[in-house]
Amino acid sequence: LSPVQAYRQQHEVTATGDNVPAPFMTFEDTGFPPEILREIYSAGFTSPTPIQAQTWPIALQSRDIVAIAKTGSGKTLGYLMPAFILLRQCRNNSQNGPTVLVLAPTRELATQIQDEVLKFGRASRVSCTCLYGGAPKGPQLKELDRGADVVVATPGRLNDILEMKKINFGQVSLLVLDEADRMLDMGFEPQIRKIVNEIPPRRQTLMYTATWPKEVRKIANDLLVNPVQVNIGNVD
């Protein structure tokens, strides 16, 4: 067994697709800039989680991914680190709209994701706005007006803001669907599709899900281009 095969076997990683790169088994393997690594080490992390190890090198190749892994596996930094690397390379004027868009099912999740963006993105000077329902639109629109590299949003509220023409997706180049299965369970599929239709087609799309039922397969098939599928454990 090669070290890569041994790693995948030990951590129950399966990756299906064309020329899947080897996982980053250590943080040093990532080649992330020192100031990013410093944030990671000061959080007390010692090695990438298996989902991070296997999806980081794929995401850094600008490829689409569908990742199936259970809660608590470190998916958030799994997509945020490649987002930060992208933002360091492609600094759009955030006044003209976000470069990275993250969709999440609930307000709680969206704010947790924003917290991680602000914590781990500080070294990369990443700005972030969070949009969710159940709160007045005014303050969220005001914050959006100040510009944000990353917008984290629930599909309902984002779709409302989109219909009000208060957000421009022209420079979105990375779209993340976090907890896709839960968003579909909550009935957000029409809003997700309307949002995605406004994003330039030449984007990278990363989809995360804990389960892999046919509704999720269908939307993955519609929104992702030649994705690499990464499973951690025997989730199905």
Smallest separation (angstroms) from ligand ADP to the CB of 147: 26
Partner whose footprint covers residue 74, from Mg ion, ligand ADP, none (CB < 5 to 8 Å by kind): ligand ADP
Partner whose footprint covers residue 73, from ligand ADP, Mg ion, none (CB < 5 to 8 Å by kind): ligand ADP
Cα 131 from Cα 137, distance rounded (Å): 8
Question: Which stretch, 1-9, 48-56, 144-152, 168-176, contacts ligand ADP (CB under 6 A)?
Answer: 48-56
Question: Which stretch, 8-16, 75-83, 129-137, 188-196, contacts ligand ADP (CB under 6 A)?
Answer: 75-83
73: contact with ligand ADP by CB under 6 A: yes
Question: Which stretch, 1-9, 47-55, 164-172, 190-198, contacts ligand ADP (CB under 6 A)?
Answer: 47-55
E-only strand ranges, the chain: 13-16, 65-68, 100-103, 128-131, 150-153, 174-177, 204-209, 228-232
Smallest separation (angstroms) from ligand ADP to the CB of 123: 16
76: contact with ligand ADP by CB under 6 A: yes
**Interacting residues toward ligand ADP by CB under 6 A:** 45, 48-49, 52, 71-77
